[in-house]
Amino acid sequence: MPLFLPNFDLQHYNTLGVPVKAQVYVSVADETELVEALRYAGHEKLPLLILGGGSNIVLCDDFSGLVIHIRLHGKTLIAENNEFIWLRVAAGENWHELVEYCLDFHYWGLENLSLIPGSVGAAPIQNIGAYGVELKDVFEELTAIDIRSGLPVTFTKEACEFGYRDSIFKGRLRDQYVITAVTFKLRKQAHLVLSYPALRDALTPQLSDSVTPKTVSDIICAIRRSKLPDPAQVPNAGSFFKNPVIPVAHYESLRLQYPQLVAYPVDEQQVKLAAAWLIDHAGWRGQVCGPVAVHGQQALVLTNPGRAKGSAVVALAEKIQQSVWEKYGVALEPEPRFYP
Ligand X SMILES: Cc1cc2nc3c(=O)[nH]c(=O)nc-3n(C[C@H](O)[C@H](O)[C@H](O)COP(=O)(O)OP(=O)(O)OC[C@H]3O[C@@H](n4cnc5c(N)ncnc54)[C@H](O)[C@@H]3O)c2cc1C
Catalytic positions, please? 165, 239, 335
For residue 17, state whether it binds ligand X (rule: CB under 6 A): no
Rounded distance between C-alpha atoms, residue 80 and residue 77, angstroms: 8
Residue 117: CB minimum distance to ligand X, A: 4
In this complex, which beta carbon is closest to ligand X, that of residue 173 or of residue 248? 173
- Pick from 41, 98, 138, 179: which binds ligand X (CB under 6 A)? 179
Q: Does 337 bind ligand X (CB under 6 A)?
A: yes
Quickly count: other Cβ atoms within 10 Å of residue 329's Cβ. Answer: 11
Residue closer to ligand X, measured from CB, 23 or 323: 23
For position 123 contacting ligand X by CB under 6 A, the verdict is: yes
Q: Does 52 bind ligand X (CB under 6 A)?
A: yes
| Alpha-carbon span 19 to 27, nearest angstrom | 18
Footprint on residues 235-274 left by ligand X (CB under 6 A): 236-238
3-state DSSP call for residue 58?
strand
Among 20, 57, 66, 320, binds ligand X (CB under 6 A): 57
Using alpha carbons only, what angle is made at residue 274 by residues 271 and 279, rounded to the nearest 5 degrees?
Answer: 130
CA distance 97 to 272: 31
Among 2, 24, 25, 53, interactor with ligand X by CB under 6 A: 53
* Edge-first strand listing for the sheet containing 5-9: 5-9, 21-28, 63-70, 48-51
The piece of 19-27, 114-122, 146-154, 243-251 that touches ligand X (CB under 6 A) is 114-122
* Binding status of residue 334 toward ligand X by CB under 6 A: no
Mask for 211-230, x = binds ligand X (CB under 6 A) = -----------------x--
What 163-168 contacts at long range (C-beta under 8 Å, 24+ apart), as own/partner pairs, is 163/127, 164/127, 164/129, 164/134, 164/242, 164/243, 164/245, 164/272, 165/126, 165/127, 165/128, 165/129, 165/242, 165/335, 166/126, 166/127, 167/124, 167/125, 167/126, 167/127
3-class DSSP state of 178: strand
Task: Please give the DSSP secondary-structure letter assigned to residue 2.
Answer: P
Using CB under 6 A, which of 27, 56, 114, 217 touches ligand X?
56
Query: Closer CB to ligand X, residue 108 or residue 339?
Result: 339
Question: In angstroms, what is the minimal distance from the CB of 333 to ligand X?
Answer: 14
How many residues bind to ligand X according to rule CB under 6 A?
32
Which of residues 228 and 316 has its CB atom nearest to ligand X in the complex? 228
State yes or no: cis peptide before 340, omega within 30 of 0. Answer: yes
**Distance in angstroms (rounded) separating the CA atoms of residues 188 and 186:** 7
- The residue among 110 and 254 lying less far from ligand X, judged by its C-beta, is 110
Binding residue for ligand X, selected from 70, 292, 299, 314, defined by CB under 6 A: 70
* CA 137 and chain centroid, separation: 15
Of the two residues 123 and 312, which places its CB atom closer to ligand X in the complex? 123
Q: Is residue 125 a contact point for ligand X (CB under 6 A)? A: yes
- Alpha carbons 322 and 195: distance in angstroms, whole number: 33
Distance CA 294, CA 250 (A): 27
Q: Which residues bind ligand X (CB under 6 A)?
A: 15, 49-57, 70, 91, 116-119, 121-123, 125-126, 128-130, 178-179, 228, 231, 236-238, 337
